[in-house]
Chains A and B, each alone.
Chain A
Amino acid sequence: MTRAATPKLGAYAALAGAGLLAALILGRPELAALAAPFATLLVVGLSLAETPGLSGVLELDTDRQVQGESVELELELRSETPVARLELLLDLPEGLVAETPNPQLLRLHAGERRELQHVIRCERWGAHLVGELVLRAHDPLGLLIFEQTLDLRQPLKVYPRGETLQKLLRPLETQAFAGNQLPRTHGEGIEFADLRPFVPGDRVRRVNWRATARRGEPWVNETHPERNADVVIFLDTFAEARGRGESTLDHAVHAAATLAVHYMREKDRVGLVAFGGVLNWLTASSGIGQLYRVLDSLLDAEIFLSYAWKGVDLLPMRTLPPQSLVLALTPLLDERSVRALLDLRARGFDLAVIEISPVPFAPPGEQELDDLAHRLWLLRRDALRSRYLRLGVPVVEWREGEPLQAALEEVRTFRRHARVTRA
């Protein structure tokens, strides 16, 4: 608790002193009478001023919320001494906005417990600490200010709000465990795959009677087994383009959360690699626990400036399971992430690149040279995309405002016409 004098205190002292001195010099007691109220107010005010004994308890109604939703905060403020005027500011981190009035001005009696409610809207995803209170108390006559910061911070995780995807990108290869993906192989399942002639050992229930009647000999149905797949979400955290309060990283995290939720719903194993200045990874797994681990890891995603050269060989082998689908979310701004993705393709991974377009965040300048530089930059980006496409890697530019489903459909369309070749 810090105590400071207001400008009024010094001014009143000066006026009282000047009045008393003038009374002595001029020999007019009326001047002393004019100065007396100022001096009396100073003495009375300073005597009445007490250092406030403020404390509080803070509770959030939930410690996890989705972006765009609100959280209720209950604050119980206690004062041991009377406070004539208390300014209370809930210092919220960036990305959280108070929907109730903030700051507030109130009065507390000695021993009073005041309950205050705040509603906080979670505008941005992230891991936040909520509950830093800045208090400024005034004495009854406004001569002193007492300032204090109460640290009642509670953790609040705001998860990115995903969008609904109708259809996911199918991986080229599946794994051995049960899931919702349809592999190219045939086996025990529900989805019809093909017809073939009956061979001894086939079950009678598999006989396709219509085909049998048409061909005069028994034919059986073949089905696709339901298998799961391994999906690794590759998040580029080397660089971002930022503007208007959002960035390419925000969109990438939003897409990563959407993809993670939908693939896990399909019983696929999902892993995460945040490839950037700081390497973070999560090995592929499934279940609700893994979903929360992935979402919590996404909350930690940040751009860390680093000049160190990093390659995918730094990642543990189990982070990138063989035959896994690697979905890269990248603005393709850093050469290291570009090379890493090409390296993944060279190692035979099923790779799809969703380019979080930085173009909306970098508008062309007004000068002719600026415009020329911008056009050259766009051409370089087109050349980079062509490099990927020549290697059979689908690269889709995803811009702000476009649904993620559209980007996935473009990837699917590319795969329909391209064939993966293996050396």
Chain B
Amino acid sequence: MAAWLAASPLVRDSGDHGLLLLLGLGGVLALCVGLAARWSAALAFGVGLLGAEQAVWLARGPDALDPWTPLYAGAFLLVAELAWWSLEQRVPAWAERGMALRRLVTVLFACTGGCVIAALVVIAAGLPIHGGFGLELAGVLAATAALAVVAAVARTHVR
């Protein structure tokens, strides 16, 4: 799946592939290293590099919105979920029947939901609303607020 994400911009891009190839290969390699060494930071770096490859392709590409973005969003989430699932501590535990299947269904459901969210974002971005400094400021504030909410909810409590 990660290889497909890495190869897709190369196939769709008609210009110089050097930077895209570097980012794509780097992302896949970082994912492989992270899985082999059970290193979470490498996984994040790998997904980040694949995202950067997408960003470079979008920056060099046409101004029109990419309609395949929701699919890529779901694929990114699926790669990340499966990667971190592989990284989880191996506990030689006897498991109830259907635990793995139930979890896989949850992951697929989350990825499908991710596709829907991404589609809504793309649709909203395509609305004929003219930008400006105010709207950009609102966007920065919204992004910061979103991260702040995440940080607040995720604060860990240590005994």
Binary interface encoding of chain A residues 140-155 relative to chain B, with 1 for a CB under 8 A from any of its CBs, else 0: 1111100000000000
Binary interface encoding of chain A residues 40-78 relative to chain B, with 1 for a CB under 8 A from any of its CBs, else 0: 111100110000000000000000000000000000000
Bound-state CA distance A1–B72 (Å) is 38
Q: Residue B76 contacts which of A1, A3, A24, A34 (CB distance < 8 angstroms)?
A: A34
Known: A5-B156, A11-B84. A34 touches B44 (CB 8 A): no
B66 nearest CB neighbor, chain A only: A30
Q: Is A97 an interface residue (CB 8 A)?
A: no
Contact A24 B139 (CB under 8 A): yes
Contact A7 B87 (CB under 8 A): yes
Contact A16 B91 (CB under 8 A): no
Known: A33-B122, A34-B118, A42-B150. A101 touches B93 (CB 8 A): yes
The count of residues in chain B whose C-beta lies closer than 8 Å to any C-beta of chain A is 63
Bound-state CA distance A107–B99 (Å) is 8
A21 nearest CB neighbor, chain B only: B143
What A residues does B65 contact at CB under 8 A?
A: 29-30
Q: Is A2 an interface residue (CB 8 A)?
A: yes
Known: A36-B121, A105-B93. A24 touches B150 (CB 8 A): no
Bound-state CA distance A8–B113 (Å) is 18
Bound-state CA distance A37–B74 (Å) is 8
Known: A28-B55, A33-B69, A142-B88. A2 touches B157 (CB 8 A): yes
State how many angstroms separate the Cβ of B20 from the closest Cβ of chain A. Answer: 15
Q: Is A12 an interface residue (CB 8 A)?
A: yes
Contact A34 B51 (CB under 8 A): yes
Q: Residue A15 contacts which of B48, B72, B149 (CB distance < 8 angstroms)?
A: B48
Interface residues of B in 32-47 (CB under 8 A from A): 40-41, 43-44, 47
What B residues does A87 contact at CB under 8 A?
A: 91, 93
Known: A13-B147, A15-B48, A85-B99. A36 touches B117 (CB 8 A): yes
What B residues does A22 contact at CB under 8 A?
A: 51-52, 55
A140 nearest CB neighbor, chain B only: B106
Contact B58 A11 (CB under 8 A): no
Size bracket of the A interface: 35 or more
Bound-state CA distance A14–B124 (Å) is 24
Contact A18 B150 (CB under 8 A): no
Q: Is B12 an interface residue (CB 8 A)?
A: no
A29 nearest CB neighbor, chain B only: B125
State how many angstroms separate the Cβ of B106 from the closest Cβ of chain A. Answer: 6
Contact B40 A26 (CB under 8 A): no
Contact A40 B87 (CB under 8 A): no
Q: Is B130 an interface residue (CB 8 A)?
A: no
Bound-state CA distance A6–B156 (Å) is 10
Q: Is B59 an interface residue (CB 8 A)?
A: yes
Contact A46 B150 (CB under 8 A): yes
What A residues does B47 contact at CB under 8 A?
A: 11, 15
A2 nearest CB neighbor, chain B only: B159
Question: Which of A7, A32, A37, A142 gathers the greatest number of chain B CB atoms within 10 Å?
Answer: A37
Contact B94 A3 (CB under 8 A): no
Bound-state CA distance A131–B146 (Å) is 44
Binary interface encoding of chain B residues 44-72 relative to chain A, with 1 for a CB under 8 A from any of its CBs, else 0: 10011001101100110000011001101
Bound-state CA distance A34–B55 (Å) is 10
What A residues does B154 contact at CB under 8 A?
A: 5, 9, 13, 42, 46, 143-144
Minimum-distance CB pairs A-B, first 7: A37-B114, A101-B94, A29-B125, A7-B40, A11-B44, A46-B153, A33-B121
Interface residues of chain B, those whose CB is within 8 Å of chain A, are 40-41, 43-44, 47-48, 51-52, 54-55, 58-59, 65-66, 69-70, 72-74, 76-77, 80, 84-85, 87-88, 91-96, 99, 102-103, 106, 110-111, 113-115, 117-119, 121-122, 124-125, 136, 139-140, 143, 146-147, 149-151, 153-154, 156-159
Interface residues of chain A, those whose CB is within 8 Å of chain B, are 1-22, 24, 26, 28-34, 36-43, 46-47, 85, 87, 101-107, 140-144
